Chain A
Amino acid sequence: MGLGSLASRALRSSSSSRVLSTNPRYNLIRTIVSTPELHKPEAATEAASEPDLPKRTPIAGARVHFPNPDDVIEVFVDGYPVKIPKGMTVLQACSVAGVDIPRFCYHDRLSIAGNCRMCLVEVEKSPKPVASCAMPALPGMKIKTDTPIAKKAREGVMEFLLMNHPLDCPICDQGGECDLQDQSMAFGSDRGRFTETKRSVVDKNLGPLVKTVMTRCIQCTRCVRFASEIAGVQDLGMLGRGSGEEIGTYVEKLMTSELSGNVIDICPVGALTSKPFAFKARNWELKGTETIDVTDAVGSNIRIDSRGPEVMRIVPRLNEDINEEWISDKTRFCYDGLKRQRLSDPMIRGADGHFKPVSWRDALAVVAEVLHQVKPEEIVGVAGKLSDAESMMSLKDFLNRMGSNNIWCEGNGKYLDADLRSGYLMNTSISGLEKADCFLLVGTQPRVEAVMVNARIRKTVRATKAKVGYIGPPTDFNYDHDHLGTTPETLAAILDGNHPFSAALSTAKNPAIIIGAGIFDRQDTAAILSLLNSLSAKFKNLITPEWNGLNVLLLNAAQAAALDLGLIPESDSGMESAKFVYLMGADDTNLDDLPKDAFVVYQGHHGDKGVYRANVIFPSTVFSEKEGTYENTEGCVQQTVPAVPTVGDAREDWKIIRALSEVCGVRLPYDSISGVRSRIKNVAPNLLRVDEREAAVFSGLLKPEGSGKVSAVPFGVTVENFYMTDAITRASKIMAQCSALLAKK
């Protein structure tokens, strides 16, 4: 080994280059390499149509269902026959056949624009390559996706797209998960021929959530279509023409939508990226944990991307039945609340009124001692809006063993009867709302209460022009609606039949009535529910064997499971006479009625409203740190998966209660989460069937009629501030920025 070998290597390379230099191609800097097979596409296609082809699986679980058997047509993708329903595009046919066509502007859930031209394929007897996303598949069409013409078309389109796209991938947040990056690797050329200066575009201000680098934009108009079609805010547009084309709002304006974060996901390049996540991490450093969201009762499917002990971002996960592929801004950007204001140590309030960190042993001992001194009927337990089923089960078991049955979940009110599941679930199911052709929203503002349900209603209204009636305080909707009234009396008028909307309701095929969970806190809950019961008796189309149009839209993630587990207060005056209150993450419970000398234990994860009255604090975990079962508003049971470790000395909720029960001398009989679940199986077996929607057995409310009269008190606004509804979102800085913006408007 030495310099001699280096020299010999140099010699060798020179000789090999001499061999190569006989080929004239290598003397030119670069020419457009023309290959003979390009000019003879027939030769290439003949090779592709061999008789036995390997079985291909559809891309991304593309589902084909044939609404009408007559409408089946057969096309050939690369010689492989596929049966598809009429009206599908060539691109969809290819994805059914298992061929993934590169695309930028095409998106399954948006209208077709056909302006990126990346999806060009060759179709036999067509003189030019066709844009497959905009071309309907015709019977017997022979589509070729792998021919030299298609490849060259893609390469050319890619070269055009990269002409004005900056090559700043190293400083771009989309790097690593960028469609343009991936597809230029797969389909692009290794060099471009463009030597002029690239254009640059002024960045737009789209608010505190979306960061824009408009120079990177490739004008796919996905964001424009998303904003106007899904989010229902007509703010974004395509301005200018030619190379001066840009996405913008023209006038200075912020995008005010509760779904605006989704433009980050649909943007195929790094033009729209997440502002809070900017320059924080690369996507390959992140560990993805597939879990669910608990900030509302929809239970959107999400993926928590974490790096080490830190949640870096939250992105949606596809679930056709719940959130499709969108999530609300609250779900997406509340994650910095998981890291702030955390309770990390057990604390006891000393005689001077200050909290002092103590060990678990001391804290549990103090609580156990107090528990033994109060009378059983003076014990009250309140589960918070983010509690999982396991912890609510153990809380109920524990307090029952202490002799009290005064346990409820906040938001469910005092007057609700949990005997029938159909009385508190969304019986139509979220995806079932798409079949409805007439909506009646009673005391609910789905746009802030359950964003994904609202998106589903908007989708239905856009597609079928379904009629929407709304009873409640004036609020803004992003679809056409009739404001019928503000009080429950309007509902009575519809029942009597002298309201114009009752005609619409009776002629509809699949009417859907959605009642907000806000009515649970009213005095006349029972009266309203019985009114609805009579409505369902009067309008026979409301509940049929195929259709159940009577829905309750819950507010919080814990509500449905709490009612399934029977967390119902025993007496109306629970708080007034309580001496011992166990708040399990309950921050929005009104504690004004509580006697001054009552002892309050707050078990929770954030130093939020609940701790101010607490005597003892038990630190517990948030949804990203624990395994827990949640039931969403339509009765679909899902589980969270721990993505990051717990903070400080915090423990999972059910473990804390299990430990406390042992210190109190009433040991609960389970030592593991599977133990808790087998206990749940006895109470509510549906909570163990994960990812399944367990519909209510009885439809209808079966309420005794005429239980009181509805009051003339107007329905209230249930969610005052969309961005701050629970302990996590109230701790979040990003949510605080958003709500400051909301307040300014």
Chain B
Amino acid sequence: MASVVRNVLKSIREKGLVSFARELREEGFLNCLSDGNLLQTKIHNIGATLVGVDKVGNKYYEKLHQTQYGRHRWVEYASKDRYNASQVPPEWHGWLHFITDHTGDELLMLKPKRYGLDHKENFSGEGDEYIYHSKGHTLNPGQRDWTRYQSWQPTKTQ
């Protein structure tokens, strides 16, 4: 923890307060305040190795010590507000899901050029703006209400 504080102070000293704040925002630290998933990822990132960055800018981390086996690889999405799993390109998918130990960069070398279609995030049929988030996801607006009963409304009866 001390090293984190030291690094923060160091970068403020180097970049100045304004550009440090901008960087904070771009790196998604401000989103952490409202998004627990992102915050947890950021906390996880401390002490982890950055294995690679794909073409979209998703960062792939690995931490082999002091983590539960099976949770030792994760991704921090490039998009800090509207991220979903389909933003991971296929070459990194295998690494991220423990299918292979080859990182996406390595696999990219093997990829024949003639499969020229680029990976695209999984958009729903309702335009690129709309992304479906499963129920319980922070970005699913309709599922915030966890009340599973319906109250009697006194005004209706009077």
Q: Which residues on A are within 8 Å of B, measured CB to CB? A: 1-3, 308-310, 338-345, 347, 353-355, 606-607, 611-612, 647-648
Contacts and interface: CB of A to CB of B under 8 A. Distances in A.
B149 A339 contact: yes
Interface in B128-158: 146, 148-155, 157-158
Given A1-B101, A3-B102, A354 B158 contact: yes
B157 A339 contact: no
Contact of B150 (A308, A339, A611): A339
Contacts of B150: 339-342
Interface in B56-87: none
A353 B150 CA distance: 23
Contact of B151 (A1, A308, A309, A343): A343
A310 B155 CA distance: 26
B158 A355 contact: yes
Contact of A607 (B101, B146, B148, B154): B154
A2 B102 CA distance: 7
Interface of B: 101-102, 106, 146, 148-155, 157-158
Given A355-B158, A607-B157, A344 B102 contact: no
Contacts of A341: 150-152
Contacts of A345: 151
Contact of A310 (B101, B148, B154, B157): B148
Given A353-B158, A355-B154, A308 B148 contact: yes
Nearest to B102: A3
A368 to B, nearest CB: 22
Closest 7 CB pairs of A and B: A607-B152, A355-B154, A310-B148, A339-B149, A344-B151, A341-B152, A647-B149
A340 B149 contact: yes
Nearest to A606: B152
Nearest to B156: A607
Contacts of B101: 1
Contacts of A353: 158
Nearest to B107: A3
A353 B157 CA distance: 11
A309 B145 CA distance: 13
A342 B149 CA distance: 7
Given A3-B102, A347-B154, 12 more contacts: A1-B101, A309-B149, A310-B149, A339-B149, A342-B150, A344-B151, A354-B154, A354-B158, A355-B155, A607-B152, A612-B157, A648-B151
A571 B99 CA distance: 80
Given A3-B102, A354-B158, A355-B158, A611 B152 contact: yes
A135 to B, nearest CB: 50
Contacts of A340: 149-150
B112 to A, nearest CB: 16
Main secondary structure of the interface of B (DSSP, over half): loop
A1 B102 CA distance: 9
Nearest to A342: B149
Contacts, number: 50
Residue with the greatest number of chain A CB neighbours at <10 A, chosen from B101, B150, B153, B155 = B150
A612 B155 CA distance: 11
A326 B87 CA distance: 51
A343 B102 CA distance: 59
Residue with the greatest number of chain A CB neighbours at <10 A, chosen from B148, B153, B155, B158 = B148
B68 to A, nearest CB: 20
Contacts of A355: 154-155, 158
A611 B151 CA distance: 14
A345 B157 CA distance: 16
20 contacts: A2-B102, A3-B106, A309-B149, A338-B149, A339-B149, A339-B150, A340-B149, A341-B151, A342-B149, A342-B150, A342-B152, A343-B151, A354-B155, A355-B154, A355-B155, A355-B158, A606-B152, A611-B157, A612-B157, A648-B151
A165 B158 CA distance: 55
B64 to A, nearest CB: 12
B154 A344 contact: no
A347 B158 CA distance: 14
B151 to A, nearest CB: 5
Contacts of B106: 3
A225 to B, nearest CB: 38
A321 to B, nearest CB: 34
Residue with the greatest number of chain A CB neighbours at <10 A, chosen from B146, B155, B158 = B158
A310 to B, nearest CB: 4
Contacts of A1: 101
Contacts of B157: 607, 611-612
Contacts of B148: 308-310, 339
A165 B53 CA distance: 49
Contacts of B152: 341-344, 606-607, 611
A355 B154 CA distance: 6
Nearest to A343: B152
Residue with the greatest number of chain A CB neighbours at <10 A, chosen from B101, B102, B149 = B149
A289 to B, nearest CB: 16
A612 B153 CA distance: 12
Nearest to B155: A354
Nearest to B148: A310
B110 to A, nearest CB: 8
Nearest to A340: B150
A139 B106 CA distance: 74
